[in-house]
Structure 1
Amino acid sequence: MSGTVLALSGGIGGAKLALGLAQIIPGEALTVLANTGDDFEHLGLAISPDIDTLTYALAGLDNPITGWGRRDESWSFMTALRELGGEDWFQLGDRDLATHVERTRRLRAGETLSAVTEDFRRRLGIGARLLPMSDQPVRTKVLTPEGWLDFQHWFVRLRCAPAVRGLEFAGAESARPLPAILDALRDPALRAVVICPSNPLISIDPILAVPGLRHVLRECRAPVVAVSPIIGGRAVKGPTATMLADLGTPPAADAVARHYGDLLDGYVLDAADAALAPGIAARCAVAPTLMTDLASKAALARVVLDLADRIAAERRA
């Protein structure tokens, strides 16, 4: 079935499904909307971790071992920085550094983040469109027992150790969704909106915090289908399960579905969680959700789109 698809994504987990979708959706018929709540300035550079993870994955340049950064990376810059006593808690590989340097130069020259991202994806031969959630800065803050922390300081420097007591998306109230995002959601040819298996609290919620986006998503005619980032009570990677527990939510696939609430029309959960499906309000599909290679990424993408197509067909009937 033809049509366009819009995917909401954070970093590593979301990038896997985004790559799977790119295998079966031609070119710019796929739009990937990236979280920028993780963005920050470090060593004077504008760093967009989720945009970069998606860029490298879609371009076939990602590091298959770490899931972040570029493959065949070297670390001479970090070694020299460490020798000089510089801040070395956030790893910047030599190839990856070029991305941040060029992005910073162009942003300071007056270009928007979306324009820089668009140029990068074309230069790297990526067929799918890749959009930041906004050109205005939104920054995730984490409330811990010691007070508020910038996200990357909590996530990377402190390795997620402090318990999470709350989250804030600073600047969200002043942000605006890109016109291209609104156009994609209002496209009569829109087949599905896919919420990738990213952390719902720190990857998807910042996107939904941009004024107007949640409303347009709820009102769009295409089915909204999410993939659970939890398998058998555990996150495949990252702090999703721990964060949910810290905030009083069971780290379970059905809890994530309840978190998204009436935004969802469909929900894909792993076979390990099949028993939870009857308690989920959205139409469910059960499938292997652990993506270990390109074939499994594409297979999960097909399950997601098949579920969206079934929901759309039921509506028409």
Structure 2
Amino acid sequence: MRITALAGGIGGARFLRGLLDHVHADPALRESQITIIGNTGDDITLFGLRVCPDLDTLMYTIGDGIEESQGWGRRNDTRTVQGELAAYGGQPQWFGLGDLDFATHIVRSQWLGQGLTLSEVTGRLAQRWGLAQRGVTLLPMSDEPVETHVVVDDQEAGEGATQAIHFQQWWVGMGAGVPARAFHAIGIDRARPAPGVLEAIRTADVVLLPPSNPVVSIGIVLSVPGVRDALRGTSAPVVAVSPIVGGAPVRGHADACLAALGLPTTPEAVAGLYADFLDGWLVAPGEEHRVGGGVRLRAVPLLMRERESAARLAGDALSLGVELRAERA
């Protein structure tokens, strides 16, 4: 089976690792090929190095090198380099990079500087983590740089004044504690889908949208010209998982992101962002009434507390996709 997924960082990575656990446990699915289209709108240059947080989190998680306690970064990493940078007065210090993690960013920056595309670099990095041996291809959404910026109030400039800051400064440095007025994906107008992205959507048997942030993760991937059209046109059922349970995001600051769009923190609001291509929608038990339209609903436990529950959730999403595909045959 050919499975394609659009994904952000921690939530998407844990869901997709669960998907791998699910397909590898089923002899009928064991030879499945999974293509992950990762968000690169979070990318940032720090200390002269190109950092791709979502791609790295996907790569480390699937490659069994993630620091589980935080969901990002390398397992058992140290912070000697970052500490020495702080001693020199190097900024910023609000974005933590471990020593092993630095190696990823150094070699990525080196290869990009040698003229390789981000797709080519990501392919090389993925080899070190054995993704191909697991039946996984990791693609950036685009080879062109895209950076999400957030418009916030500028308190120092006076009432009514605003400023645009990098998404990571708002998300990590401020903990999304300052209301976002708008999001802008800088460079999206020049971006093209990376090689293989549109083909992976068009030729998939099932397309999955994990419970990643619908505005600044999956939403940015959908903003790449051609991606949304490909989802509308694919013959594969598109199944998404709600990131909202009980009026709050399962993880992260999706509520703050939805608020910037003037939307409530509900499954219905998120489904509306996918309405032009969505076929199947997984929601938490008791929240079925919050979503309408011609989308096939399924209520299942959405919390991924450990790998087993992530595998069950991913299996539920895949099963719904298979069911919808069979009905179309």
Give the distance between the partners of 1:52 and 1:120, measured in 2 at CA.
Answer: 9
TM-score (norm. length: structure 2) = 0.91
Counterpart in 2 of 1:117?
A: 122
Counterpart in 1 of 2:111?
A: 106
Please report the RMSD computed on the Cα atoms of aligned residues, expressed in angstroms.
1.4
Counterpart in 1 of 2:176?
A: 160
The alpha carbon displacement at 1:158 in A equals 2.0
1:173 to 189, 192, 206: 189
Q: Which moved more, 1:291-300 or 1:5-14?
A: 291-300
Counterpart in 2 of 1:10?
A: 8
Q: 2:202, 2:233 within 8 Å by CA — same for their partners in 1?
A: no
Q: 1:232, 1:272 within 8 Å by CA — same for their partners in 2?
A: no
Give the distance between the partners of 1:99 and 1:70, measured in 2 at CA.
Answer: 10
The alpha carbon displacement at 1:186 in A equals 2.6
Q: 2:198, 2:226 within 8 Å by CA — same for their partners in 1?
A: no
Counterpart in 2 of 1:96?
A: 101
Q: 2:66, 2:75 within 8 Å by CA — same for their partners in 1?
A: yes
2:73 to 48, 69, 72: 69
Give the distance between the partners of 1:151 and 1:28, measured in 2 at CA.
Answer: 35
Q: What percentage of aligned pairs have identical amino acids?
A: 41
The alpha carbon displacement at 1:280 in A equals 4.7
Give the distance between the partners of 2:260 and 2:318, measured in 1 at CA.
Answer: 33
Counterpart code for 1:148: A
The alpha carbon displacement at 1:169 in A equals 1.0
Counterpart in 2 of 1:144?
A: 152
Q: Unmatched 5+ residue regions in structure 1?
A: none
The alpha carbon displacement at 1:26 in A equals 4.3
The alpha carbon displacement at 1:179 in A equals 2.8
Measured against aligned partners, the alpha-carbon deviations of 1:136-195 in whole angstroms (never above 9, x if no partner) come to 1111111112221111111122221221111111111111112311221232xx221111
Give the distance between the partners of 2:77 and 2:119, measured in 1 at CA.
Answer: 26
Counterpart in 1 of 2:26?
A: none
2:297 counterpart of 1:284: yes
Give the distance between the partners of 1:245 and 1:226, measured in 2 at CA.
Answer: 21
Q: 2:231, 2:277 within 8 Å by CA — same for their partners in 1?
A: yes
Q: Secondary structure at the match of 2:148?
A: strand
Give the distance between the partners of 2:61 and 2:185, measured in 1 at CA.
Answer: 26
2:217 to 191, 200, 203: 203
2:320 to 304, 307, 311: 307
Q: 1:231, 1:272 within 8 Å by CA — same for their partners in 2?
A: no
Give the distance between the partners of 2:139 and 2:105, measured in 1 at CA.
Answer: 17
Q: Secondary structure at the match of 1:172?
A: coil
Counterpart in 2 of 1:19?
A: 17
**Change beyond 3 A, Cα 1:28–1:181:** farther
Counterpart code for 1:99: T
Give the distance between the partners of 2:315 and 2:174, measured in 1 at CA.
Answer: 38
Moved >4 Å (runs of 4+): 25-28
**Number of residue-to-residue matches in the alignment:** 311
Q: 1:258, 1:280 within 8 Å by CA — same for their partners in 2?
A: no
Give the distance between the partners of 2:11 and 2:294, measured in 1 at CA.
Answer: 24
Q: 1:19, 1:57 within 8 Å by CA — same for their partners in 2?
A: yes
Measured against aligned partners, the alpha-carbon deviations of 1:262-301 in whole angstroms (never above 9, x if no partner) come to 2201111111523324x25411111111111111111111
Give the distance between the partners of 2:174 and 2:90, measured in 1 at CA.
Answer: 17
The alpha carbon displacement at 1:27 in A equals 6.3
Q: 2:202, 2:231 within 8 Å by CA — same for their partners in 1?
A: no
2:271 counterpart of 1:262: no
**Change beyond 3 A, Cα 1:80–1:179:** closer
The alpha carbon displacement at 1:245 in A equals 2.5
Q: 1:233, 1:252 within 8 Å by CA — same for their partners in 2?
A: yes
The alpha carbon displacement at 1:78 in A equals 1.7
Q: Secondary structure at the match of 1:307?
A: helix
Counterpart code for 2:295: A
Give the distance between the partners of 2:34 and 2:166, measured in 1 at CA.
Answer: 32
Structure in which a larger fraction of residues adopt helix: 1
Q: 1:257, 1:280 within 8 Å by CA — same for their partners in 2?
A: no
Q: Secondary structure at the match of 1:7?
A: strand
**Change beyond 3 A, Cα 1:75–1:263:** same
1:54 to 49, 55, 58: 58
Q: Which moved more, 1:229-238 or 1:79-88?
A: 79-88
Give the distance between the partners of 1:119 and 1:32, measured in 2 at CA.
Answer: 15
Q: Secondary structure at the match of 1:169?
A: strand
Counterpart in 2 of 1:248?
A: 262
2:253 counterpart of 1:239: yes
Counterpart code for 2:142: S
Q: Which moved more, 1:32-41 or 1:149-158?
A: 149-158
